[in-house]
């Protein structure tokens, strides 16, 4: 096969999927077809930087619809599938788990079935090189105590409706490999942050609230620890897993950037004070307000990324400090992207309270 692959990206109008799509067009010769339902979280503006490229295409479709998925496979004839479409916000999964089961579990099943039918009809050489890459989360492993790291051998122990639905989809992907021989790879990544991040998630929500002088709600005592990874580092990692990962393997992706939520919010406040000074609001740390904790809030996630480093040579380029600065700068210079979302789609209200 030539070096030019045809990559079908589900969820490509979302935060990570759009970063993957921009990375494919920017740094590879590959073609990409984004398949996305455009839920509240999907945003075509995140794909504007590549929208006019001849190697980019977009199709609005629901991954649950197996017939439509199968037709798209036959039409586009992908060499690689990167499956990112999902409901992704833990707080929303507490309020309404049904959509998480529908998209993350049933949708992954439909996509696997479509991929299997298509793959079986390929000539042998293309069957051998085909890859179905499922993009998952470290949340499937449950919570760590103060010590230790998640790795590829950690047992699954999901605790939220979101992480349980992602664990279920991981298991389906592994079963389709084991039972039917579909060439799958899996990756489990820690918390991402960066440009085009939907402002329901901690870091963009805090940036926008701090800019507007609104309260900065921190769950519990702010002691929960996450291992933060800049989204463009993740996108590069995903491309190496999708194109060079070993069939049947999984890869844990993280950047050794453990921070408590309180540290993250304080870091955001300091950067917003510096980059968007406002004497009436400084210091923005005074806007922090401790609120009741998320039900079932996992204490700590941290990744041992040794395998992807050793086997695929991937390393993150950004530290948390450099990545957070780039992120705050991006939100300051891309108001048009988030003002529409903030005024019409999600205004920042608390979600996920039982
Ligand atoms: P996101 O919520 O920003 O984007 C999800 C995208 O999927 C949206 O564009 C949405 O329109 C689309 N989508 C939802 N349901 C669909 C359906 N039924 N059919 C087709 N498209 C549908 O999510 P994200 O943060 O970009 O996460 C992408 C993937 O990476 C998810 O699978 C998530 O579980 C995983 N992940 C996320 C993180 C993180 O920190 N954000 C970390 C590790 C893994």
User: pLDDT tens digits for 37-53?
Assistant: 999 999 999 999 999 99
Residue 217 falls within a domain, yes or no?
no
Active site residues: 138-139, 162
pLDDT value for 110 = 98
Residue 25 falls within a domain, yes or no?
yes
Ligand 1 proximity of 134 Cβ (cutoff 6 Å): no
166 CA → ligand 1 middle, Å = 11
Give the ranges where 231-319 is alpha helix by DSSP (H). Answer: 231-244, 261-275, 306-312
Residue 328 falls within a domain, yes or no?
no
Long-range contacts of 177-183 (CB under 8 A, 24+ apart): 177/247, 177/248, 180/116, 182/112, 182/115, 182/116, 182/119, 182/132, 183/119, 183/127, 183/128, 183/130, 183/131, 183/132, 183/247, 183/248
Residue 223 falls within a domain, yes or no?
no
Q: pLDDT (tens digit, 9 = 90+) per residue, 226-238?
A: 999 999 999 999 9
Residue 249 falls within a domain, yes or no?
yes
Residue 104 falls within a domain, yes or no?
yes
Categorize the per-residue pLDDT at 80 as very low, low, confident or very high, splitting at 50, 70 and 90.
very high
Question: Is residue 277 scored above 80 in pLDDT?
Answer: yes
| Residue 249's CATH number | 3.40.50.720
Task: Compute the Cα dihedral for 253, 198, 352, 9 and give only its sign.
Answer: negative
Ligand 1 proximity of 25 Cβ (cutoff 6 Å): no
Residue 192 CA, closest ligand 1 atom number: 40
Domain span at residue 44 reads 6-197+228-257+303-319
Collect all residues with Cβ–Cβ distance below 8 Å to 186 and sequence separation of at least 6: 133, 134, 136, 170, 173, 174, 249, 250, 251
Residue 27 falls within a domain, yes or no?
yes
HEC profile for 122-142?
A: CCHHHHHHCEEEEEEEHHHHC
pLDDT value for 39 = 97
Average pLDDT over the chain, rounded to an integer: 97
350 CA → ligand 1 middle, Å = 20
Collect all residues with Cβ–Cβ distance below 8 Å to 21 and sequence separation of at least 6: 9, 12, 32, 34, 47, 50, 56
Domains held by the chain: number: 1
Ligand 1 proximity of 30 Cβ (cutoff 6 Å): no
Residue 133 falls within a domain, yes or no?
yes
Nearest to 127 by CA among 70, 200, 180: 180
Question: Is residue 1 scored above 50 in pLDDT?
Answer: no
For the residues 85-91, what does the mean pLDDT come to? 96
As a whole number of angstroms, the distance between CA 133 and CA 114 comes to 14
Nearest to 219 by CA among 162, 258, 260, 190: 260
Categorize the per-residue pLDDT at 335 as very low, low, confident or very high, splitting at 50, 70 and 90.
very high
For the residues 283-294, what does the mean pLDDT come to? 96
Ligand 1 proximity of 37 Cβ (cutoff 6 Å): yes
pLDDT value for 3 = 83
11 CA → ligand 1 middle, Å = 6
Q: pLDDT (tens digit, 9 = 90+) per residue, 161-185?
A: 999 999 999 999 999 999 999 999 9
Categorize the per-residue pLDDT at 272 as very low, low, confident or very high, splitting at 50, 70 and 90.
very high
Categorize the per-residue pLDDT at 353 as very low, low, confident or very high, splitting at 50, 70 and 90.
confident
For the entire predicted model, the pTM comes to 0.97
């Amino acid at each position: 096969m030539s070096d030019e692959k045809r990559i079908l990206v589900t969820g490509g109008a979302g935060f990570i999927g759009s970063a993957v799509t921009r990375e494919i067009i920017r740094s590879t010769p590959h073609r990409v077809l984004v398949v996305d339902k455009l839920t509240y979280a999907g945003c075509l503006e995140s794909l504007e930087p590549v929208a006019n490229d001849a190697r980019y295409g977009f199709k609005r479709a629901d991954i649950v619809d197996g017939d439509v998925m199968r037709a798209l496979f036959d039409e586009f004839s992908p060499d690689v599938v990167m499956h990112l479409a999902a409901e992704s916000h833990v707080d929303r999964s507490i309020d309404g788990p049904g959509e998480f089961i529908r998209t993350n579990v049933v949708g992954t099943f439909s996509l696997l079935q479509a991929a299997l039918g298509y793959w079986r009809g390929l000539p042998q050489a293309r069957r051998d090189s085909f890859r179905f890459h499922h993009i998952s989360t470290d949340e499937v492993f449950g919570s760590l105590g103060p010590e230790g790291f998640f790795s590829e051998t950690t047992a699954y122990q999901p605790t939220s409706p979101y992480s349980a639905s992602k664990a279920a989809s991981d298991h389906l992907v592994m079963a389709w490999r084991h039972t039917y021989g579909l060439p799958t790879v899996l990756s489990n990544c820690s918390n991402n942050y960066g440009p085009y991040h939907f402002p329901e998630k901690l870091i963009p929500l805090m940036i926008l609230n701090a800019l507007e002088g609104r309260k900065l709600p921190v769950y519990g005592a702010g002691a929960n620890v996450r291992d933060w990874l800049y989204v463009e580092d993740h996108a590069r990692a995903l491309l190496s897993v999708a194109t060079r990962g070993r069939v049947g393997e999984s890869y844990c992706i993280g950047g050794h950037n453990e921070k408590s939520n309180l540290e993250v919010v304080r870091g955001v406040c300091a950067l917003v004070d510096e980059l968007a000074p406002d004497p009436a609001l400084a210091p923005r740390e005074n806007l922090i307000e401790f609120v009741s904790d998320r039900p079932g809030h996992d204490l700590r996630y941290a990744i041992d990324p040794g395998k992807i480093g050793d086997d695929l040579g991937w390393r993150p380029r950004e530290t948390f400090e450099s990545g957070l600065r780039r992120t705050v700068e991006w939100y300051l210079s891309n108001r048009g992207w988030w003002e529409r979302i903030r005024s019409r789609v999600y205004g920042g209200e608390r979600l996920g309270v039982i």
